[in-house]
Amino acid sequence: MTATTAKPTEHLNIVLVGHVDHGKSTLLGRLYADTGSLPDGRLEKVQAICRQQGKEFEYAFLFDAFLEEQEQGITIDTARTFFTWNTRQYIIIDAPGHKEFLKNMISGAARAEAALLLIDAAEGVREQSIKHGYLLSLLGVKQVGVVVNKMDLVGYRQEVFEGIETEYRDFLAQLNVVPERVVPVSAKYGDNIVTRSERMSWYRGPTVLETLGLFRKETARAEQPLRFPVQDVYKFDARRILAGRVTAGRLKVGDRLVFSPSNKTANIKSVEAFNIEPQPIEAQAGQSIGITLDEQIFIERGEIASRQDEIPLVSTAFRANLFWLGRRPLERGKKYVLRLATREVDCEVAAIHRIIDAADLNQRQGASAVGRNEVADLTLRAKSPLSFDLYGSFETTGRFVLVDDFDIAGGGIITELVHDEQEFLRDEARRRDFAWVKGEVGLEERAQHFGHRAAVVLVTGAAHTGKSFLARKLEAFLVAEGRHAYLLDAENLRRGLDADLSQSQKADSAEMVRRYGEVARLLIDTGLIVVSTTNPFGLAHHQVIQAIRTLVHPAPVIAVHMSKTEEEPPPGTDLHFAGPKDFDAAARRILEELKRKGVLAHAIGAKPTFQYSI
Amino acid sequence: MNRLRQLEDQSVYILREAYKHFDNLAMLWSMGKDSTVLLWLARKAFLGHVPFPLLHVDTSYKIPAMIEYRDRLAREWRLNLVIGQNKEALTAGMNHTLGRVTCCTALKTDALKQLVEEKGYTGIILGVRADEEGTRAKERYFSPRDKNSEWDFRDQPPELWDQFKTAFPEGTHIRIHPLLDWTELNIWEYIKLENIPFIDLYLDRGDGTRYRSLGCAPCTFPIKSTAKTVDEIIEELRHTTIAERSGRAQDEGRGMELLRKDGYM
Ligand SMILES: Nc1nc2c(ncn2[C@@H]2O[C@H](COP(=O)(O)OP(=O)(O)O)[C@@H](O)[C@H]2O)c(=O)[nH]1
């Protein structure tokens, strides 16, 4: 047999896992030699060297020598080798040590689309093979071929093989991994590697080479549902261009896009490009592009565009497998910056479910920190909702990194959405926003006209802390400055909008907050700055803040907390005043915060420049 | 997807990340083929605009045709060109006969450091490629330099999944390398694909030699080649076994390693 020299038309990343000495190098040496993939004379040369040194020839030597040669001139930190067969190039990633291997695997230095897992027939299914199985499930590798090696040592006996096959299949089933094939081989003697073994005529399945051919290329990313994370918004000239890279699927002029998590919608007006004639009208996964929309909506970096019936998940929490590379351990409860596609948000580790030591693959439970080079199954909670996918369905939007002290210190793949309290309201907001009937005047035009963006200033605090006094003052200040502000008191809703409700209905705090939030949402759409004092609705302050944020999302909510004495403000507070004497100063402080958040354009009359957009 | 377009998409992504995260960003332009491709990629990324200054570190020993070419493109492409020069060293008579590494250090490395300091750039985009020579293969797309522009390649954070080091402590700056994955061959194939204007010193103009890499006149030597068109260069590169920078004197011995550790581009 000879190797095909034709240029490969397809590439497939394969990871080779197996305990040291189970025969990985021998298997690869065989694969190269028996397919005629080695340079002329190589086999003879290594054989001659072995004779000279009085050593028994090993296919593993052959492979090692070849690897050295292949690597010359290429600098990569993963041990990988290339093997081409039938127009497909296999990039075979070897696992030299677990630590480096895991790092490389999780870091995506090499994303495996399939795995070959080696078991030593003479040893049977041992702890190592069990750990390797866990490893593959941890990495989300779905296509697995199991190779039972060294069959020569067990006399090529069918029942030995079948025992191992059954045991290992049962184990993998618990991890939801279904092996494509289980192949009995002897790498040393070349049985069932490239040529069918006569010594195991009882086996009718594919050889290792054929098994490689059976691995499917993952669905081309272009065939998946659309994911277009917004990288930046450019206004170099009259056009307002959303720049970014399509990470899955495709888009074309005229498509209706939904941006998550803001739920904004618009149609694609054009696909922008430089020095491409004629101007493109579509783009697909992998391409870095620019688009313009038919409507002036505020979109900012970090949003993910998709089609309405295929939107990504949205939550503040998810479960993930994470590999930690940081110098300091990853600690539960500490703040980290999470980066997912182009989104960046503060987060903390809410729970560490288990830790797997990368060196020996042992598991540990009940830890409160993840050390360097450990893999953890954990739940992360972000400060504000973000959109994402499960790694099993989407590669780019299903993985993230954590930044600790300026450095990227860990990477993870998302395995599960974790429901949060806001889910119900978020769904309501999303359904309402998708169906929202818009007039001709957009939010941006209103903002240009008014000289500020719409926002909510929510003043929370116990009774007699001066909440309403401050709120009134702020409203007055804003209007005096020429802003469009309105004080929305929950009491007014109670007597009007809610007048038909029974006492018990009025006692349903969650419902009262919902109504209040929806009224605020309406006012936001008119472009106003809504100043509101909440009476607590019988809910904890932070619950009110969260609910309002969800309902008026993505309009900014500035949460101001008042207390008589120094105390810990509720989570999510932006400004805290403890027993203020000077209310003018406090109101001015809020104005500053509104400027800082980009709500107020700096000067009235001047063309507003917004720091970031709604 | 075509390999060149893949490289382009990745470089454009990197350039856009750089532009998003660095307020005071600049791109180094030596008018050579690599940094000109880089400049072209910036025009791709920003749809015909180049929203940051281009720095040319002028050693005063550049080949005159390069300066002409620089000024022409700057005009036509409306570039914001910033020129840096180590005047002190030049006045003191610095030249390559005083030692190539010494000369490069003074006129390029130090001149760049001075410029970065003076203008307060926090991000510098450069057209280095991993295949050029050994030390460059250890680079990251976003590579921090400390206050002294020093680079510790053993202690680099990983670059996972197109997430780069875009936050850094006061006093450091970041070097950004969007061309890291490109090879010399890719550069020429891309020049052909996009029809990018380049200096004709790269072509054989009749004497059976051409420049494969451009630097200062005294230290850059042409190679034997009869390639008169981009196509012929591409053909030649597909078959050559000679290193690209063999015509560059500074690479002899351990020159490059020393230069890079100290902040050479
Ligand atoms: N009997 C027998 N020995 C094998 C077989 N495959 C590999 N070996 C031996 O197992 C040892 C380890 O093999 P190697 O390929 O270096 O393992 P690696 O550490 O997984 O790369 C060597 O001595 C090989 O000769 C096999 O199929 N049968």
Question: Atom 8, ligand 1: which residue's CA is nearest?
Answer: A23
Distance A166 CA to ligand 1 centre (A): 23
Does A468 fall in a domain? Answer: yes
CA distance B123 to B22: 6
Residues of chain B with Cβ-Cβ distance to A325 below 8 Å are 157-158
* Residue A47 and residue A192 in one domain: yes
Amino acid A584: pLDDT: 93
Q: Taking CB atoms and an 8 Å cut-off, how many pairs form between chains A and B?
A: 83
Q: How many domains does chain A have?
A: 4
Of A234, A236, A288, the CB nearest to B9: A288
* Residue A480 and residue A409 in one domain: no
How many CB atoms within 10 Å of residue B68? 12
A488-502, B156-170, B193-207: which has the minimum mean pLDDT?
B156-170
Does A82 fall in a domain? Answer: yes
pLDDT digits (tens, 9 = 90+) for A133-160: 877 777 777 789 999 999 999 999 999 9
* Residue A485 and residue A535 in one domain: yes
Q: Tell me which of A181, A214, A247 is where a domain ends.
A: A214
Residue A613 has pLDDT above 50, yes or no: no
Amino acid B115: pLDDT: 86
pTM beyond 0.80, yes or no: no
CATH number at residue A446: 3.40.50.300
Confidence band, pLDDT 50/70/90 cuts, at residue A524: very high
Instruction: Please name the residues in contact with A269: beta carbons below 8 A apart, sequence gap of 6 or more.
Output: A253, A291, A292, A293, A294
Residue A4 has pLDDT above 50, yes or no: no
The segment with the largest mean pLDDT, out of A116-130, A187-201, A555-569, B174-188, is A187-201
Cross-chain Cβ contact A275/B44 below 8 Å? yes
Does A610 fall in a domain? Answer: no
Percent of chain A whose pLDDT exceeds 90: 41
Amino acid B148: pLDDT: 60
* Residue A22 and residue A52 in one domain: yes
A433-451 b/e (C-beta count within 10 Å ≥ 16 → b): beeeeeeeebbbebbbebb
DSSP for residue B109: I
Q: What is the mean pLDDT of residues A87-95?
A: 79
Confidence band, pLDDT 50/70/90 cuts, at residue A403: very high
Percent of chain A whose pLDDT exceeds 70: 89
Are the C-beta atoms of residues A355 and A346 closer than 8 Å to each other?
Answer: no
Q: What is the mean pLDDT of residues B64-80?
A: 91
A65-70: long-range contacts at Cβ-Cβ below 8 A with a sequence spacing of 24 or more? A66/A29, A66/A32, A66/A38, A66/A42, A69/A39
Q: What is the mean pLDDT of residues A186-207?
A: 94
Q: What is the mean pLDDT of chain A?
A: 85
Q: Tell me which of A373, A398, A420 is where a domain ends.
A: A420
Residue B251 has pLDDT above 60, yes or no: no
* Residue A431 and residue A535 in one domain: yes
Residue A77 has pLDDT above 50, yes or no: no
A24-28, A215-219, A591-595, B192-196: which has the minimum mean pLDDT?
A215-219
Cross-chain Cβ contact B43/A409 below 8 Å? no
Which pair of structure tokens corresponds to residue A214? 């059976």
A90-104, A322-336, B52-66, B178-192: which has the minimum mean pLDDT?
A90-104
Of B6, B161, B168, the CB nearest to A401: B161
Distance A187 CA to ligand 1 centre (A): 7
* Residue A450 and residue A471 in one domain: yes
* Residue A232 and residue A151 in one domain: no
Distance A21 CA to ligand 1 centre (A): 5
Percent of chain B whose pLDDT exceeds 90: 31
Chain A residue at shortest CA distance from B162: A341
Amino acid B45: pLDDT: 96
Are the C-beta atoms of residues A114 and A145 closer than 8 Å to each other?
Answer: yes
Distance A168 CA to ligand 1 centre (A): 21
Amino acid A340: pLDDT: 97
Confidence band, pLDDT 50/70/90 cuts, at residue A586: very high
Ligand 1 atom nearest to CA at A28: 15
Q: Is A39 exposed, middle or buried (0-12, 13-18, 19+ CB in 10 A)?
A: exposed
Domain that holds residue A534: 425-596
For residue A295, is it left (φ>0), alpha (ψ between -120 and 50) or beta? beta
Q: Helices marked H in A436-501 — which ranges?
A: 443-450, 467-480, 490-495
A231 touches chain B (CB under 8 A): yes
- CATH topology assigned to domain B3-183+252-261: Rossmann fold (3.40.50)
Amino acid B190: pLDDT: 95
Of B6, B9, B161, the CB nearest to A411: B161
Amino acid B150: pLDDT: 62
Q: Tell me which of A420, A436, A465 is where a domain ends.
A: A420
Does A237 fall in a domain? Answer: yes
Confidence band, pLDDT 50/70/90 cuts, at residue A523: very high
Instruction: Please name the residues in contact with A25: beta carbons below 8 A apart, sequence gap of 6 or more.
Output: A59, A60, A63, A64
Amino acid B224: pLDDT: 86
Q: Could you tell me which residues are beta bridge partners of residue A318?
A: A380, A417
Rounded to the nearest angstrom, the minimum Cα separation between B236 and chain A is: 19
pLDDT digits (tens, 9 = 90+) for A12-31: 888 888 877 888 889 988 99
Rounded to the nearest angstrom, the minimum Cα separation between A437 and chain B is: 34
Which of A279, A268, A286 is CA-nearest to residue A223?
A286
A315-351 b/e (C-beta count within 10 Å ≥ 16 → b): bbbbbbbbbbbbeebbebeeebbbbbbbbbbebbbbe
Residue that is written with structure tokens 């200040």 in the block: A477
The segment with the largest mean pLDDT, out of A540-549, B19-28, B89-98, is B19-28
Residues of chain B with Cβ-Cβ distance to A339 below 8 Å are 163
Residue A602 has pLDDT above 60, yes or no: no
CATH number at residue A351: 2.40.30.10
Residue B250 has pLDDT above 60, yes or no: no
Q: What is the mean pLDDT of residues A585-605?
A: 81
Chain B residue at shortest CA distance from A408: B157
Residue A96 has pLDDT above 80, yes or no: no
Instruction: Please name the residues in contact with A384: beta carbons below 8 A apart, sequence gap of 6 or more.
Output: A316, A345, A549
Does A248 fall in a domain? Answer: yes
Are the C-beta atoms of residues A308 and A265 closer than 8 Å to each other?
Answer: yes
Please state whether beta strands A369-370 and A114-120 pair in parallel, antiparallel, or not at all (unpaired).
unpaired
Residue B253 has pLDDT above 50, yes or no: no
| Domain coordinates in residue numbering, chain B | 3-183+252-261, 184-251
Distance A112 CA to ligand 1 centre (A): 24
Does A450 fall in a domain? Answer: yes
Residue that is written with structure tokens 């065939």 in the block: A223
Residue A317 has pLDDT above 60, yes or no: yes
Does A342 fall in a domain? Answer: yes
Cross-chain Cβ contact B167/A236 below 8 Å? no
Q: What is the mean pLDDT of residues A249-276?
A: 94
Cross-chain Cβ contact B130/A241 below 8 Å? no
* Residue A280 and residue A379 in one domain: no
CA distance A573 to A580: 16
Question: Atom 7, ligand 1: which residue's CA is nearest?
Answer: A23
The segment with the largest mean pLDDT, out of A20-29, A32-41, A470-479, is A470-479
Does A612 fall in a domain? Answer: no
Amino acid A347: pLDDT: 95
Confidence band, pLDDT 50/70/90 cuts, at residue A76: very low
Which of B157, B29, B133 is CA-nearest to residue B81?
B29
CA distance A233 to A254: 19
The segment with the largest mean pLDDT, out of A301-310, A384-393, B249-258, is A301-310
* Residue A162 and residue A68 in one domain: yes
List residues near ligand 1 (CB under 6 A). Answer: A 18, 20-26, 58, 60, 149-150, 152-153, 186-188
Q: Helices A59-71 and A24-34 sit at what angle, rounded to 10 degrees?
A: 80
pLDDT digits (tens, 9 = 90+) for B174-194: 899 999 888 888 999 999 999
* Residue A301 and residue A318 in one domain: no
Residue A607 has pLDDT above 50, yes or no: no
The ipTM (two decimal places) reads: 0.87
